[in-house]
Chains A and B, each alone.
Chain A
Amino acid sequence: MNNDYEYVPKNSFTRWLDTRLPILRFTNEHILQFPTPKNLNYFWTFGFILTFFLITQIITGVILAMHYAPNSLLAFDSIEHIMRDVNYGWLIRYAHSNGSSMFFLAVYIHMFRGLYYGSYKEPREVLWILGCIIYFLMIVTAFMGYVLPWGQMSYWAATVIINLVGTLPIIGDSLTQLLLGGFAVDNPTLNRFFSLHYLIPFIIFGLVFLHIWALHVPGNNNPTGVSIQGKQDTVAFHPYYTVKDFFAYIVFLLLFCYFIFYNPNALGHPDNYIEADPMLTPAHIVPEWYLLPFYAILRAVPDKLFGVLLMFGSIVVLFFLPWLDTMKVRSARYRPFYKMFFFIFVLDCLLLGYLGAQVPEGIYLLLSRVSTFYYFAFFILIMPALSRLEKPNPMPIGISNPAIDQNARLD
């Protein structure tokens, strides 16, 4: 990045500090003055929103841990204690449980945005991979958090998911016992889930810093996908994007508040208000909404091990995106065919989410198989094929120069 925004300490204290811990210089260069493309749309506000939701989850989570008892005999009652006795306990718990849903909603928009505008492409591969790691850790954390209330859904979700590990040949059984700390989901499982559920968000917090670091080396992508060519293409992050991001954050908070205050259990499952019973499986086990597409993929396959491999494969494939889509043109704006397949992919993911909540029989099973096929085909067949065959539309020369460049593809 061009460095026209040199930090100059204004008084003797900041001059003294600057030679010892240049934290103000760092803040100034990477937050306040950071040159950001001037044409970012509202889809670019979700990184900021996600950071705030991570902080919200950590704060509410730390508070909940002060009142929660991670013991299989006490856990369910301690959740009710939080809901009924603790001052504002209901608010903090509903904020935490709905906060996870908002977190995933925001991360899905963030990821689809990256997919649409080609934000994973050179030189942002590491940025994308860090994001994939964060997303995977979010899933792990959310799954463990879902177990803590020790309701029927908690218990049976844990049972089903840990049994997935048992499908692995040879090591499956001993690995399952290692994870469970016993022969079935029980107190040792609950305790370790609590411990890890508390730990991983801080790891995510660290990874977010690496994610931003990796972002600040090449700078932001933008809706045209054309690289920044000079000062005329950028504005300072503050106040231009702090204001825009805050506005988007507040609008997003309205949705969050709707769920907390008007419909706090809409995204949960009533069976989780029944205490865990190891002797009785609920008639219909479903994961939280944000994991339903993966559940649909798992159940689309008749073979158990293959189903598990496909489910994990659906996340693993994301890591390889920068090398599956080698088209130099980043933004789908100038790629009519990619754009079409992209929107089918979005619908496909929504369909998989719907199918994950249905009983896998008849037409639902057939649809699950078709949409699972498309999910993988989009990455493994369509992306590499389009990279070779698609002829992109004419593109602007630069962010500030809408004149169409007839020859250049990029750079």
Chain B
Amino acid sequence: MSDIPEDDKPSRRDFLYITTGTFGAVGAAAMVWPLVDQMNPDSSVKALSSIEVDISEVPEGGFLKVAWRGKPVYIRRRTAEEIIRAESEDKEDLPDPQNDADRVKKKEWLVVVGVCTHLGCIPIADRGDYDGWFCPCHGSHYDISGRIRKGPAPTNLEIPPYEFASDTVIKIG
């Protein structure tokens, strides 16, 4: 179109093209965000994000399985022997090293999300080579502290945010 060098300089028209295009792109991006964000957890889902659990009935060595955010949470009342075992295994070669003391608020109570860190199946309690949990899907073994010991899962069972509302009530979430 042009053989005159001055035409290579940006013209008013180029400026208008670029600003129009930029405004259009920003506007489109702003429009897209609500369309994407509607897929995130909604207010009714988030409202259910904390629960209170009465643990007075759990016998020593027993556990409760409660639903929190649609996932099971194991609340396990460990025996003295189990606590000693968990602590003594701190020194072993763990895939995801963590001390038992860092995984509990009271040594007697272990609270873990019952979702295998491999692909989200629910491990079965009191099973497996380490007498903790065993995931039937792809064979991950967890110990009595919920730590991964053997199998494909990369990390220990997750500890949910929780606190002791009283001696007999745990608030999860």
Interface residues of A (CB under 8 A from B): 156, 159-160, 162-164, 166, 177-186, 188, 192, 278-285, 299, 302-304, 307, 359-361
B46 to chain A: closest CB distance in Å? 9
| Minimum-distance CB pairs A-B, first 5 | A184-B70, A183-B69, A163-B120, A281-B121, A281-B122
CB pair B70 A188 closer than 8 Å: no
Cβ–Cβ < 8 Å partners of A159 in chain B: 119-121
Complex Cα distance, B42 from A159, in Å, reads: 19
- Residue on A with the closest CB to B115? A184
Note all chain A residues with C-beta closer than 8 A to B41: 177, 180-183, 188
Contacts of B39 in A (CB 8 A): 178-179, 181, 192
A156: contacting residue among B69, B71, B121, B152, CB under 8 A = B121
Stretch of B9-17, B19-27, B103-111, B134-142 with 4 or more beta carbons under 8 angstroms from chain A: B134-142
Residues of B within 8 A of A303 (CB): 154
Q: List 11 A-B contacts (CB under 8 A).
A: A163-B120, A166-B120, A177-B40, A182-B69, A183-B69, A183-B70, A185-B70, A188-B41, A188-B42, A279-B122, A283-B136
Q: When the two chains form their complex, are residues A304 and B118 in contact, meaning their CB atoms are under 8 A apart?
A: yes
A279 touches B65 (CB 8 A): yes
Beyond A280-B122, A281-B121, A304-B152, whether A182 also contacts B137 by CB under 8 A is: no
User: Which interface residue of B41, B65, B71, B120 has the most chain A CB atoms within 10 A?
Assistant: B120
Q: Nearest CB to that of A285 among chain B residues? A: B137
Nearest chain B CB to A286 CB, angstrom units: 10
Assembly CA distance A178 to B137 (angstroms): 24
Q: Contact: A163 with B119, CB < 8 Å?
A: yes
A57 to B40, CA, bound (A): 30
A302 with B67, Cβ < 8 A, contacts A177-B41, A182-B41, A192-B39 known: no
- List B contacts of A178 (CB < 8 A): 36, 39-40
Cβ contacts under 8 Å, B36 to chain A: 178
Majority DSSP secondary structure for residues of A touching B: loop
Secondary structure dominating the interface of B: loop
| Closest chain A residue, CB of each to CB of B114 | A279
A183-B45, A280-B122 in contact; A361/B139 too (CB < 8 A)? yes
> Cβ of A184 and Cβ of B69 under 8 Å apart?
yes
Q: A160-B120, A183-B45, A304-B119 are in contact. List 8 more A-B contacts (CB 8 A).
A: A156-B137, A162-B120, A177-B40, A184-B69, A188-B42, A279-B67, A279-B122, A359-B139
Chain A residues with CB below 8 A from B40, complex form: 177-178, 181
A148 to B119, CA, bound (A): 20
A299 to B121, CA, bound (A): 14
Q: Are B137 and A160 in contact (CB under 8 A)?
A: yes
Residues of A within 8 A of B154 (CB): 303-304
Bound-complex Cα distance A166 to B118 (A): 10
Contact assessment for B71 and A184 in the assembled complex, using a CB-CB cutoff below 8 Å = yes
Q: Which residues of A contact B120 (CB under 8 A)?
A: 159-160, 162-163, 166
Selected contact of B119 from candidates A160, A278, A283, A284, CB within 8 Å: A160
A302 with B119, Cβ < 8 A, contacts A177-B40, A185-B70 known = no
Task: Give bound CA distance, A405 to B83, whole Å.
Answer: 81
The 8 A CB mask of B20-52 against A (1 = contact, 0 = none) is 000000000000000010011110010001000
**Complex contact A182–B121 (CB within 8 A):** no
Knowing A278-B67, A284-B136, A304-B154, say if A188 contacts B45 (CB, 8 Å).
yes
Q: With both chains docked as a complex, state the minimum distance between the C-beta of B47 and any C-beta of chain A, in angstroms.
A: 12
Nearest opposing residue in chain B for A299, CB measure: B138
Residues of A within 8 A of B119 (CB): 159-160, 163-164, 304
Q: State whether A278 and B71 are in contact (beta carbons under 8 Å apart), knowing that A181-B40, A181-B41, A182-B45 are contacts in the complex.
A: yes
Is the Cβ of A281 less than 8 Å from the Cβ of B137? yes
Q: B90-128: contact bitstring with A at CB < 8 Å (1 yes, 0 no)?
A: 000000000000000000000000000011111000000
> Which of chain B's residues has its CB closest to A361's CB?
B139
Query: Which A residue sits closest to B135, measured CB to CB?
Result: A281
- A46 nearest CB across to chain B (Å): 34
CB–CB A281/B71 < 8 A: no
**Chain A residues positioned under 8 Å from B65 (CB to CB):** 279
Contacts of B122 in A (CB 8 A): 279-281
> In the complex, A181→B69 CA distance in Å?
12
Known: A278-B70, A279-B72. A181 touches B42 (CB 8 A): yes
Query: Smallest Cβ distance from B48 to chain A, in angstroms?
Result: 9
Which residues does chain B contribute within 8 Å of A179, judged by CB atoms? Answer: 39
B49 contacts which chain A residues (CB < 8 A)?
Answer: 183
* Distance of B10 from chain A, by nearest CB (Å): 36
**Distance (Å) between the CB of A283 and the closest chain B CB?**
5
Please give me the residue from chain B that is nearest to A278 by CB atom: B70
Question: A281 to B136, alpha carbons, bound, how many Å?
Answer: 8
Given the complex of chains A and B, what is the CA–CA distance between A160 and B69 in angstroms? 17
- CA distance in complex: A10, B129 (Å): 82
Contacts of B153 in A (CB 8 A): 304
Judging by beta carbons under 8 Å apart, are B45 and A181 in contact? yes
